[in-house]
Amino acid sequence: MNLAKLRSWLRLYGLLVRTTIRSRMQYKFNFVVGTLLAALVQISEFLMVAIVLDRFGAIRGWSVHEIGYLFAVMTLSKTIYRTFADEVHHLEKYLVGGELDQLLTRPMPVLLALMPQKFRLMPAELLQGGFILSWALGSMMRTGQVGWTAVIATLFIILTGAVILFSIGLATATLGFWTTRIVELQNITEDAARTAAQYPLTLYPKWMSSLLLFAIPVGFVNYMPSLYLLRGEVGPWVLAVTAGVAVICIFASLRFWRYGITKYQSTGS
């Protein structure tokens, strides 16, 4: 894909973003109240853990701020992934309903035609993640646990994390070319794995933490980089490794996707 095509694709995507925002804003009241409520609901999930930490102090040496950080980085990475590529997560709908047929008649790679099918505004997640992250980072900066550079590094790992989550999502979705149903698999590779990595992986038995680092590498979204960023337990090389994992993941999953799509059997006759 050359530069001119990329630019045209970005323009097309920008158009989608603008029109989506415009149509959502038609009902401002619903938008604002819905966002606030959803953010509160999501914070309740963290609150559940925060209450326990408030009572017991720390889990295996991880403070409430550190766990809040893990939680927020995961939320923000997921938000980026799902904002731009929500339809990858919902590929099953396209496979079952045959809507993928339409996308195959577009003069561009199927994935690039799929992504602009929907731009999903996720203000509640952004609010929740942003709020918990600034609270966690702010508190840790006040106590001198981390410095300003951590903010930049955090933005970086949120992006690499989004790439990793996207890759996991894409690889899972690709399995749909064989199984058609993917919701149950996504429950394992996306929902359960992501939730697991909201807590320090040391909590889990060895087999499970290895699984979350090497098979479904959600551990690299937040946990591994935080070991260095928050706790100085490993060297700065871990950031490079994180970026490397992201690159490997996206290449592998794109290849898998390209192979999977040749197995596509359109439904209906």
Partner 1 sequence: MMIEAHNLTKDFKTPVVREGRFSGLRTLFSREYRLKEAVRDISFQVERGEFVGYIGPNGAGKSTTIKMLTGILHPTSGEVRVGGVNPHRDRRQAVRQLGVVFGQRSQLWWDLPVKDSYDILAEMYGVSGAEKTQRLDQFAELLDLREFWLTPVRKLSLGQRMRADIAAAMLHDPDLLFLDEPTIGLDVHAKRNIRQFLSQLNRDFGKTILLTTHDMDDIEQLCSRVMVIDQGQLTYDGTIPTLREQIGLPTEIRVKFRGPFRVPEETEVERLPYRVTGIEDDTVVVEANRHEIGTMEIIRALSEWGDIDDVDMAEPAFEEVIRSFSAS
Partner 2 sequence: MFNPGLYFTLASKAYARNVQYRGAHLVHNIASAMFGFMYACIWIGLGRDHSLGTYGTQGMVAYIAFTQSALWVTSFITNGLGIPQSVRTGQIALDLMRPIHLFTHMMSKEWGQIAYQLVYKSIPIYLLYFFVFSLPVPGDGAAVLFTAAGLLGASYLSICINYLIGVSALWTTESSWLYWGHHALVNLLAGFFIPLEWLPGWLESFAWFTPYPYLLYVPTTLYLGNGDVFALGGTVFWCALMTLLCLLATRMMRRKVEVQGG
- The span from the CA of 152 to the CA of 108, in Å, is 35
**Helices 123-142, 64-89: crossing angle, 10 deg rounding:** 160
Q: Within 123-182, which residues bind partner 1 (CB under 8 A)?
A: 179
Of the candidate residues 2, 107, 152, 206, the single one contacting partner 1 (CB under 8 A) = 107
* Residue 205 found at the interface with partner 2 (CB under 8 A): yes
Residue choice 38, 49, 53, 108 for contact with partner 1 (CB under 8 A): 108
> Which of partner 1, partner 2, none sits in contact with 117, Cβ below 5 to 8 A by type?
partner 1
| By the rule CB under 8 A, 126 interacts with partner 2 | no
Nearest distance from C-beta of residue 198 to partner 2, angstroms: 9
Residue 51 sits in the site that holds partner 2 (CB under 8 A): yes
Of 8, 44, 134, 266, which one interacts with partner 2 (CB under 8 A)?
44
In the window 240-269, what residues touch partner 1 (CB under 8 A)? 262, 264-266, 268-269
Of the candidates 212, 186, 213, 214, the one whose C-alpha atom is nearest the C-alpha of residue 86 is 186
Q: Applying CB under 8 A, which of residues 8, 19, 134, 187 lies at the interface with partner 2?
A: 187
Q: Enumerate long-range contacts of 130-133, CB under 8 Å, 24 or more apart.
A: 130/72, 130/76, 131/39, 131/43, 132/43, 132/46, 132/68, 132/71, 132/72, 132/75, 133/68, 133/69, 133/72, 133/73, 133/76
**Among 93, 106, 142, 258, contact with partner 1 (rule: CB under 8 A):** 106
